[in-house]
Structure 1
Amino acid sequence: MSTKYLLDPADRRRLLASPAGWLACGFGSGLAPKAQGTFGSLAALLPWYLLRDLSVPAWLGVIVLAFAIGVWACDVAGRILGVADHRSLVWDEFVGQWIALLPALLAPWWAVFAGFVFFRLFDVWKPWPIGWFDRRVKGGFGVMLDDAIAGLFAAIVLFLVLRLAT
């Protein structure tokens, strides 16, 4: 059985054999040997970049749909691995990163870098209420929720930084 930190080859195969597992591990980005959350957040930048010209309402729709699919995928993948919030499950980083980058849709290039950094800081640091939800809400919804809140915090900080920069 997996631990929260190690993923043996059999678990890796079982995870990637399932559409839910493939999505939950961020199309493989969560299978990095270290810093899985950072690799997941970096991988989230490619679809964000490809879809950056969407309107804000369309982006909100993408985020809501991705969150809902992530609840299902992370729940299934967690059961496959026997660990509800295994480090290899990084779809929550995709959604959290997209939330964090909402203010960067019409901003200069450096805002993407700043949004990435702010999201990673909030995701790792987990200030209240992020850490509270991370400890208490379980299953696929719990996996997704704390990163969505971290993304919201990062988006607020990025918005404020952009306002101060103009």
Structure 2
Amino acid sequence: MSTHLGLTARVYGASAFLLCGDNDQAILDSLNDVKERFGGEMEVRHESSPLGFLRNFIAEGGIAVHLTMYGLSYQEVIPELASDKPIVIVVGGAKVGREYFEMCQYNVAVGNQPHSEVAALAAFLERLNDGVSPPEDFTSGKFTIHPSERGKDLREDA
């Protein structure tokens, strides 16, 4: 699921993806491979001290949002978020400890029922960023996908 979270974050405009917990190099390599092949600038890295990172991020003026089915409605929270401050989104499902609920300034739900973390991230970022990233955000890759009504149209860039 971590790779799918990274791919979702990428297409919805995230500037970075931090993998916490086990340092699974295969996940990082997969996301970097997509970036190399299809473009984009999203930083991908492992964070060995997620709580320390979060503490520093908040202390430096960032906003921490934890996606959880127990939180407040994302439709109500997103308009409250300061647009001039960096935002980190914590996603982790059942693995997220109590300290994240307490440390994050916002605990946000896309629905107060069990749901997919990937779907929650997509819904939240789509609303936060007014859609997916435009094609020009992905011009640095080796390939370009051209929309097609039928079939696949993948072209190698010169």
Instruction: Provide the TM-score with structure 1 as the length reference.
Output: 0.22
- Comparing both structures, which one devotes a greater share of its residues to helix? 1
- Comparing both structures, which one devotes a greater share of its residues to strand? 2
Instruction: Provide the TM-score with structure 2 as the length reference.
Output: 0.22
